[in-house]
Amino acid sequence: MTDLAFLDATAQAELVRAGDATPAELVDAAISRIEAVNPQLNAVIHPLFERAQAAVDAGLPDGPFRGVPIVVKDWDGMLAGAPFHGGNKLLKSIGFNAPSTAFLFQRLEAAGFVIVGKTNTPEFGFQPTTEPEAYGPAHNPWDTTRGTGGSSGGSAAAVAAGLVPVGHAGDGGGSIRIPASACGLFGLKPTRGRISLGPDDSEAWANMVVRHVVTRTVRDSAKVLELLAGPMPGDYSTTAPPTGPYSADVGADPGKLRIGLRTRAPGDLAEVDPVCAAAAEETGRRLEALGHTVVVDPGPAALDEPTLLDSFIVVLAAEATAGLELLATVAGREITEADVEPLTWSYAQLGKVLTAAQHVTAVGALQSWARRTMSWWFDGGFDLLLTPTMAEPPPVLGDLAYDPEQPGREGARATPFACFTLPFNVTGQPAVSVPLTWSASGLPIGSQLVAMTGREDLLIRVAAQLEAAHPWAGRIPPVHA
């Protein structure tokens, strides 16, 4: 049988349809790869091998990805009967299993995907690196001393190393794009409301959280988005349906676009490493070679307003406080400082002293800021904004760890990794990280493209153009299946 490790999901599904492989063969091969390689990565923390094989034996839906193995993140959605710990040591210690299944996972399984495991994530998704106390760090397959990004870092490591072709991911401040950049993958954050958060979430982080996948190819991401798009009844946020199938946008002409290039961090919140700025600039030159106009531009003026981060922290603190109350309900007792990590505890303590009025004011300020930001796409006549995905290359493991002698350092140290991505969770716009560049030391360096709300089709068309001109899926990390 064909070596499956670095075939994308589309190619694996084609093998099944052609009769050249069976779902059982695809799933068993993925299990073997996980067993062989995961000890070096700590990407898959909850193997679901028996569940996967039972699903195959019971007969899979005749969907477009019938038999293709996938991993799902241990956060951003429940899977009934499977562990749901969110990187938290208390949930791990009590062995908490999910009581329900997210609408997103129902759709993935209806499409024929087979879930073979759940992946590592930072506690409650609060960090742009995947190093939870509960499970230990996920290791980057390009350099195992480096982080995988977060909070979907386990999924990204698993896909990058060839354990599976697709990994579920969620993004509240960059958690699809950051790990995609860190691990050399394609990561598309959809428009707010494009994919349902139900049934357990109506909105999350003041409606900044969205969910999708990380992949090696644009066509996989486009097809999965096509399958996942659309609301479930009662969704808090929805968006206009696409004008056509996203899979048809792969290879379609995007037209000649006007693209603004910004390499300075929003609000000068971080110093941008020259390698990250250079990667965005190189992406700009490649876009120009494809016929687009790239203009060095500061981008939306609102990006440099000083209040965005303050308002975001208010929302995050409120979410942490509410999260600990839910954790107390599950545990059946009051939560103590020993039950969570220091960053989570500090956010929750801040949330306890904030007033309801402060939260409402912060959410209103974020919404107002989003309107000012999005006006750039209209007033300036731009189609896309191009930036680095992160202001620094993937960090050395431990660099964002809690230091009792420097309280709050781990939160501040996270800023360079999310400063370019977070703004577009606030606006709800779709954005992608494309893996076009590697550093001299062999680390992936992603570039971010941002479109107007609802224009995932444009991002897919441009990303597919770049992928065709500068293929990346054939680049294999040192640690791989």
Positions marked catalytic:
73, 151, 175
Secondary structure of 354-389 as H, E, C letters:
CCHHHHHHHHHHHHHHHHHHHHHHHHCCCCEEEEEC
DSSP β-bridge partners for residue 432: 188, 449
What span, in angstroms and rounded, lies between the C-alpha atoms of 435 and 452? Answer: 21
What are the distances in angstroms from CA 317 to CA 72, 130, 310? 26, 20, 11
Other C-beta atoms within 10 Å of 275: how many? 17
Is the peptide bond prior to 199 cis by the omega test (within 30 degrees of 0)?
yes
What span, in angstroms and rounded, lies between the C-alpha atoms of 354 and 358? Answer: 6
20-55 as b/e, with b when 16 or more CB fall inside 10 Å?
ebebebbbbbbbebbeebbeebbbbbbbbbeebbeb
Which helix (H) or strand (E) element contains residue 353?
helix 342-353
409-421 as b/e, with b when 16 or more CB fall inside 10 Å?
ebbebbbbbbbbb
Nearest alpha carbon to residue 85 among 129, 121, 49? 121
Nearest alpha carbon to residue 183 among 135, 217, 137, 149? 149
What span, in angstroms and rounded, lies between the C-alpha atoms of 70 and 467? Answer: 22
The residues, any chain, with a CB within 8 Å of residue 93's CB and separated by 6 or more, are none
What are the distances in angstroms from CA 411 to CA 126, 127, 406, 416? 9, 8, 11, 10
User: DSSP string spanning 144-164?
Assistant: TTB---SSSHHHHHHHHTTS-
